[in-house]
Structures are given as structure tokens and as C-alpha cells.
Amino acid sequence: MKIFADSADLDTIRPLAEAGLIDGVTTNPSLIARSGSDFLDTVGALAAMIDGPVSAEVAATEYDPMMREAARLAQIAPNVCIKLPLTLDGLRACRTLRGEGRETNVTLCFSVTQAVLAAKAGATYVSAFVGRLDDINIDGGALLKDIRDVFDTYPAFRTQVLAASLRSVNHVSAAALAGADAATMPPEIVTAMARHPLTDKGLAAFLADWERTGQTIR
């Protein structure tokens, strides 16, 4: 499963990229607003930092303005993936962009039927929102499994299932078990994936035993 950092904070993304722990980055207008940085400059910096896809979202809601914004985003770098809302205009733009050879990420998917339309539009990724469904007592992990089952049933669908709105390590586990192709999450969740109390306890015991030997490795 690919791991994407869902952030526009260059300082938190950089160490994860240098460690080879992430395969790409996703951004959205909310993340850019919170960062206080220039949108185009930030996307360019991320695209230079990461070899994989950097999802940059259009702000327009109608087809023609979407296409103009997508053309501007595509100029930034070859690995910019155009992020589009799962609306009729967004799906139309997705189809056009895919015909031009651009990668696309259709976002705000909350149902199997929406995912099917994204796949028919040729989306590279469809972002299924797990956490926001859990917020209203609908099982977001179950949606991932259902989309995976449908896509596996129809091999002509080449769209990758991207688990989004992940808010905990448990959400990441659920995404992996559901067979998601990729998962995007805040950088702090990526680092939390490496932690376990028994790992810390075991390491402390190993270090204590090693110290008692009086040896060094040189």
C-alpha cells in the first residue's frame, strides 16, 4: 500500500521523504489555508521534494474554470496530480485530463456508486473518506472494502482506491486490510505507525543488557 502525506507543511514532510517512508503527498484548500503559504509555490516545492504524485486541487466548481486551473497546475511539474471534486463537472474534467495523459485524484467520495463513476471517468485515484463517514456513524472501512470488491469484479476499472480522511493508526490498519491501493494521512500518523509500547519496552531491555556487557561497537 502506498503511503501519502496529507499536508502542505514542508518541514514535516521533508524528513518523511528523506527516510523513504512516503510515496506521495496530497493537499487541499484547507491544508494550504492552514499553512499560510502560497499555493503554487508550495505545490512546486512539494513536487521537487517527492518523486511520486503530489495532488493539487482545483478551486473551481465548473468544468471550464476547472480545466483552466488544471492547465496551470500541470505546468508546475510532471508529477502534479490534478485533484478534482466528485461532481458531474469534476468527473467530466477528469475524463478530459486523463485523455491528455494527466494523473487525476477524484476526491470527496462517500459511496460505492460515486467510486464507480470516478472509475468510469478514468480517475487515477478515487479518494474515499473514512474518517468523515465514521463521524456520522457509518463504517468508513466498510466503504473501502466494498469499493475494492467492486473494482476487483470489473478488471476494466484501473482506478486506485485511495483511503483518505484517516485520523489514527487504526484507520491505516483498516485501509490496509480492506486492500486500499494507497492511504493518505497527516504526517504525525505516519510517524505514529512506527511506535508500539512493546517495541519501546524491548529496546530499553536490550540497551540495559548491552550496557552491562561494557562493550562498544567500533
Catalytic residues: 83
Question: How many CB atoms lie under 10 A from the CB of residue 146?
Answer: 16
C-alpha–C-alpha distance, residues 29 and 8, integer Å: 10
φ/ψ of 182, rounded to 5, equals -150, 160
The region that residue 165 occupies, defined by phi over 0 for left and psi between -120 and 50 for alpha, beta otherwise, is: left
C-alpha–C-alpha distance, residues 37 and 194, integer Å: 29
* Helix, strand, or coil (residue 9): coil
Regarding beta strands 80-85 and 24-26, do their DSSP bridges make them parallel or antiparallel, or are they unpaired? unpaired
C-alpha–C-alpha distance, residues 113 and 109, integer Å: 9
C-alpha–C-alpha distance, residues 80 and 149, integer Å: 28
